[in-house]
Structure 1
Amino acid sequence: MASGIPKTSLTLMTTVYRRIFPAVHRELAFWKTRAEAIPNAELRKQALASIETKRFHCLGGAVYALLAGSKWREAVRFIVAYQTISDYLDNLCDRSISLDPNDFRLLHEAMSDALSQKNPLQFYYALRTDQRDGDYLADLVRTCQQTMQRITAYTEISEHIQQLEQLYSDLQVHKHVKEEERVPRLVNWFEEKTDHSSLYWYEFAAAAGSTLGVFCLVSYALGERLTRSLPDAIITSYFPFMQGLHILLDYYIDQQEDEAEGDLNFCRFYADRTELKKRLMYFVTQADCHVQSLPDRRFHELVRHGLIGLYLGDPKVRTLEGGPEMTNALLRMSGYKARFFHWNTRFFYRFKQRGWDKRTNN
């Protein structure tokens, strides 16, 4: 029910800790067990790594399950499965010996199929050497399709979620090809796809890399709360600014890891830390502005505050040059709600993670 959607920082975090996080950890425990049974060593390694190192993507994304009302468990199941596909395929592309865009494109057909009600599954590994995954990826896709089949208003959101997925897949293809081809491909793609003259090409690319809009649309649809205009409003509200803020923050905290691994990081393209801070502040302002027309406006504002708190509360920020200054500037701009989420995140990293894992394994 709409009335059950949290409107304050305290009620949101209370609900998240009591209901959402335990449900996410149960789902991830299931997929971890499935990943451990993958026959191919390399696929097994990347599947397990994606769950162990990127589980906070599922934890953060699953907040949107609250928009599904009484169907929140179904929404969590979908969000965890879909985000796990995303993180797993990202690992496969990042750590792949293949630089074939056709291989990356075929792998990401799994994400498009996952958002359909009845697309036949494909052999997504056909263009790479490592292939035997014991139906791990196929079962993730099937889990998502089962959710799509339960959405009565699926036709109202299908075009919109596929639009966001196409942008995501395009990004993954362009950013993983030969190093010298990546930036030219991404620049050309940006020029073909957007009229957002207020964005740099790497900001558009960052916005394409978020799954938040999909989670928002699917959760509203599961809760049977769609209006005729809502899908378009969500796209406009979330792309590019809310999604862009999400991924720019993600790239911000991963700068050292990406440099060590030779991965493309969009934060490196800013002239300096001052410009990066200025642009992040711009995305914060625009994200707030664009969600004002949505139902449950306060919830979406809380998500934006949560993004700031979640990412800047990550221990990796303290190892970045200028990290404390960036944190203070964005928290000062965002106010007490973002600070609330920031301190909750730091508490979570210090004291709660081991507790959640023990509870999940019991």
Structure 2
Amino acid sequence: METECRKGIEMPDTFDAIVIGGGVIGASTAFHLKSLGCPRVLLVERGDICAGGTAKSCAIIRTHYTVQSNSVLALKSLEVFQNFSEVLSDPDADSGFVNSGYIILAADDDIAEHLLESVSTQSSAGVDTYEISPTEALELHPRLNVEDAKVLAYEPNSGYADPYLTTTGFISAGRKLGVEVRPNCTVTGLMMEGQRITGIETTQGPVHAKTVISAVGPWTGNIATWAGLSIPLEVSRHIVLTFRDANPYEATLPIVKDMTTANKMYFRPSSGGVALVGTGDHGEPVYNADELDENVSDDFVLHQGGQMAHRMPSFTNAELVASWTGPYDITPDWNPVLGRVPEVDGLILAYGFSGHGFKLAPMIGKILAQTTLNEACDVDPHPYRLNRFAEGELLTGAYGVGSIS
């Protein structure tokens, strides 16, 4: 089979494929490249592995989407999280996956209608999801207040994972196959001959390759500038809080997605018996992902605390334990860009995950590797092409903009 990973001229620093970015997408891509037979694979990361956006992820694993291709990616990725060490052929690999289940609830409105349609579509496609009654929801999560929830659905196989364990699991498994990993190696430019990629410039010197896969998320604007591209990308700041009640929040309680809230609040158990709380809305636009304001206003904490107290009355007097911020890389339709760039031969982009990339990372890494090797992809990447925006074929979900798509 002819691929782009052919043996080329031997040079001191020459690879068949270079992956830029040491987060979960890059780590998954590098692993899959090597496991599919690419001879020489290099992953470069400007800092430590899993020190960027992945480190801030809430790592929720669900399959609920109204964009069907997302649901397929999520279902296939869930199977990887469930069988992580087996898929990676590494007995030491552990994603930290906890099968807690996932409840999504809505008021009696258009969102509820879309919720029911999505559950029906996903169920017919093989996803284990179904509508539940308020009584059934309370059996699963006794702390909930569901009086204003008119439609509820449940995914029994969903849960959450550990971003660091997942990322380093892919890295370790990839290294055992022969992936070379260079942390603390900053990319400073692309090497090109005309409109063809020939490698990258780094703080450790030039590295040659015919294929470069960019998996740097909110920092993709730099790659686009070096390649002479104009891409749709907005970076926003998102806040995550953890609250502690008088009683420990059980690790096996289901994740809850509250679509009755304007900011599409969600919460899940986290270590130390706390509840981790985030939002799926637009967040605050920022111009530099490296300069996120880590300060969280009292008004935001009070607002989120109030929403939590409504949905779980036992949290009425809960205390704030911690807060952090992280970047979302957002496209106009809140769905990723995956694949080759027609204008630049040898450049493959993966960006715009808009807050829901972690759960898709296992399969995204695989289809990026398959794209690199000119192999048939397990999931068709065509809907995620960069040119869809110019062509007016956006992947906007039924819920509108937001990370749940």
Band of TM-score, shorter chain: under 0.3
Bigger strand fraction: 2
- Higher-RCO chain (CA-CA 8 Å, sequence separation at least 6): 2
The structure number with the bigger radius of gyration is: 2
Normalising by structure 2, what TM-score?
Answer: 0.25
Normalising by structure 1, what TM-score?
Answer: 0.27
Bigger helix fraction: 1
